[in-house]
Amino acid sequence: MIGWLDILTMLAVVMAILGVAVVIVILVEYARRIIPKKPSISLEMIKPKKEKPKMSKEKGESITFNDIFMFFIAVPLVLLWVGFAGFVIHSGLNDSSVLEQIEGYTTLIAILGGPALLIIKDALDVWKQEQAEKTAFYKIKAQAVIDYNDQAQKQAQMIEAKAQEQEHKMESKK
């Protein structure tokens, strides 16, 4: 039977591998943004191009300290907290010796849980802010569509009125 120390060791190895994978992804993305692309001659370069508006991702957003903090500290901490809590629950159900040392485990879960809960709360606050911005944007967009339709209807009515007025003038001249 695999002991709890072996499982914790395997969990630490998995977390280390995930951490290395995240570091590699960040370094590759950073290098891709720094290294200039070599221009290649193609038919597209000969033809005149129409300028397309750049989206926010194309403007060259850089990796910030907060991004690095989230990938290296926050995400592994939350995953470790959830994983260890799940491990303690699973082990407590299968092994009575874990229940004898439950105070130590709950202390460790509480120590990891404090920062993890703060990180989760901040992530939820950011998500709520994004949702509020989306809602405000859609309200403005909906109002713009309503205003546009109202103005289009008024313009159509004005054109119709002018056409009828012109028609009456033409009939009265006959």
Task: Tell me which residue range forms the domain holding 107.
Answer: 4-37+58-128
Q: Is 66 within a domain? A: yes
pLDDT surpasses 70 at 41 = no
**Total tally of structural domains belonging to the chain:** 1
**pLDDT tens digits, one per residue of 67-90:** 677 777 777 878 888 888 888 888
Flag whether 140 is in a domain: no
The torsion angles phi and psi of 158, rounded to 5 degrees, stand at -65, -40
CA distances from 118 to 73, 74, 80, 87, 144 (A): 13, 10, 15, 22, 39
Residue 172 lies in a domain: no
In this predicted model, which residue has the larger pLDDT, 56 or 122? 122
**Residue 81: partners with Cβ closer than 8 Å, 6 or more residues away:** 109, 112, 113, 116
Q: Is 47 part of a structural domain of the chain?
A: no
Q: What is the pLDDT of residues 132-166, one digit of tens each?
A: 888 999 999 999 999 999 999 999 999 999 999 99
Report yes or no on 53 lying in a domain. no
Give the phi and the psi of residue 105 in degrees, each rounded to 5: -65, -45
- Compare 56 and 62 and report the one with higher pLDDT: 62
Q: Is residue 147 part of a domain?
A: no
User: Is residue 24 domain-resident?
Assistant: yes
**What does the chain look like in DSSP terms, one character per residue?**
---HHHHHHHHHHHHHHHHHHHHHHHHHHHHHHHSPPPP---HHHHSPPPP-PPPGGGG-PPPPHHHHHIIIIIHHHHHHHHHHHHHHHHHHHH-HHHHHTHHHHHHHHHHHHHHHHHHHHHHHHHHHHHHHHHHHHHHHHHHHHHHHHHHHHHHHHHHHHHHHHHHHHHHHH-
pLDDT tens string 87-123? 888 887 787 887 788 888 888 888 878 888 888 888 7
* pLDDT value of position 139: 93
Give the residue-averaged pLDDT of 17-28: 76
Model-level pTM?
0.44
Residue 8 has pLDDT above 80, yes or no: no
Query: Is 164 contained in some domain?
Result: no
Across 14-18, 110-114, 143-147, 168-172, the highest mean pLDDT is recorded for 143-147
